[in-house]
C-alpha cells in the first residue's frame, strides 16, 4: 500500500497502473493480483488508507461541535497529504472502512447535539461537500506546485482575488479578508456551518 501511494504521489493518479507499481517494486505486475483482484480494488484500498490517515483516534469529547470540527479538519488534512489522490475521492467516494467510520462519527455528534435525522442528514452532507470541495480546490493547486517545485511546495491561497474595484466594488470590499492561510479560511467556513448547531 505504501508503495502504491508513493507511485500515485510521484506520478499522479492518471498514470497509476499495476505495471507502474510493478516497475516501482521491481517485480512482475501480475504479482499485485495476488493481493487485489483488480486495479479498482487497489484504488479503493488506497482511498480508504488516505481517508483513515491521521484518524486512528476520532475525536471524542464533551463538545459535539468541537468533535465534528476536528473530524472534518482531519479529513481535509488527510486528503491534502496526497493531493494527486484527492480528486479520486470525489470521483469514487469510498463506501466502506474509514469513510463510513468518519461519517458515522460525524452523524453521532449531530445526534448528540440533539438534531433529528432529517436535520442531521442535511448538516452532515453540507459539511462533507464543503470539506471535499475545499480540499479538492487546494489539492489541484498543490499538485501543480509539487510538479513545478517538488517536495515542500505550497499551493498558495485558494480564495484570493484581485478584482478591479471600479467594476466589482463588493468583491473588492471582501478581498482583503480572503485569507492566504487556507486552513484558517477552511476552519472559518466550518465554524459558520456549525454556528447554529444546538448545544
What does the pLDDT look like over 17-63, one tens digit per residue?
Answer: 778 877 777 788 777 777 888 877 887 888 888 787 755 688 889 99
In whole angstroms, give the CA distance from residue 59 to residue 35.
Answer: 32
In whole angstroms, give the CA distance from residue 50 to residue 58.
Answer: 15
pLDDT band at 147 (very low <50, low <70, confident <90, very high): low
DSSP-assigned letter for residue 167: T
In whole angstroms, give the CA distance from residue 133 to residue 4.
Answer: 25
Contact 39, 18 (CB under 8 A): yes
Predicted confidence at residue 119, as pLDDT, reads 93
In whole angstroms, give the CA distance from residue 111 to residue 156.
Answer: 37
What cell does 30 get? 501480475
- 98 CB-near residues (< 8 Å, 6+ apart): 48, 49, 51, 52, 55
Percent of the chain past pLDDT 70, that is, above it, reads: 84
Q: What's this model's pTM, rounded to 2 decimal places?
A: 0.80
Length of the chain: 199
Query: Taking 80 as the threshold, does the pLDDT of residue 198 lie above it?
Result: no
CA distances to 30, 79, 133, 147 from 109, in Å = 44, 22, 22, 39
CA distances to 111, 155, 192 from 148, in Å = 45, 10, 35
| 165: Cα within 13 Å, side-chain hemisphere | 5
What backbone torsions phi and psi does residue 83 show, to the nearest 5 degrees? Answer: -60, -25
Of 148, 103, 155, the C-alpha closest to 125 is 103
Amino acid at each position: 500500500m505504501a508503495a502504491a501511494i508513493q507511485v500515485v504521489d510521484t506520478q499522479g493518479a492518471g498514470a497509476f497502473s499495476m505495471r507502474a507499481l510493478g516497475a516501482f517494486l521491481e517485480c512482475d505486475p501480475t504479482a499485485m493480483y495476488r493481493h487485489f483482484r483488480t486495479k479498482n480494488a487497489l484504488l479503493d484500498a488506497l482511498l480508504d488508507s488516505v481517508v483513515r490517515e491521521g484518524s486512528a483516534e476520532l475525536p471524542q469529547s464533551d463538545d459535539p461541535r468541537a468533535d465534528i470540527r476536528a473530524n472534518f479538519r482531519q479529513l481535509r488534512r488527510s486528503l491534502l497529504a496526497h493531493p494527486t489522490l484527492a480528486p479520486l475521492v470525489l470521483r469514487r467516494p469510498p463506501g466502506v472502512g474509514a469513510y463510513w467510520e468518519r461519517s458515522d462519527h460525524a452523524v453521532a455528534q449531530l445526534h448528540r447535539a440533539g438534531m433529528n435525522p432529517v436535520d442531521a442528514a442535511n448538516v452532515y452532507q453540507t459539511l462533507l461537500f464543503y470539506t471535499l470541495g475545499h480540499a479538492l480546490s487546494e489539492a489541484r493547486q498543490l499538485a501543480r506546485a509539487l510538479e513545478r517545485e517538488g517536495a515542500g511546495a505550497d499551493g498558495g491561497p485558494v480564495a484570493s482575488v484581485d478584482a478591479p474595484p471600479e467594476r466589482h466594488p463588493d468583491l473588492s470590499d471582501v478581498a482583503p479578508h480572503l485569507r492566504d492561510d487556507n486552513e484558517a479560511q477552511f476552519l472559518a467556513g466550518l465554524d459558520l456551518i456549525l454556528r447554529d448547531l444546538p448545544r
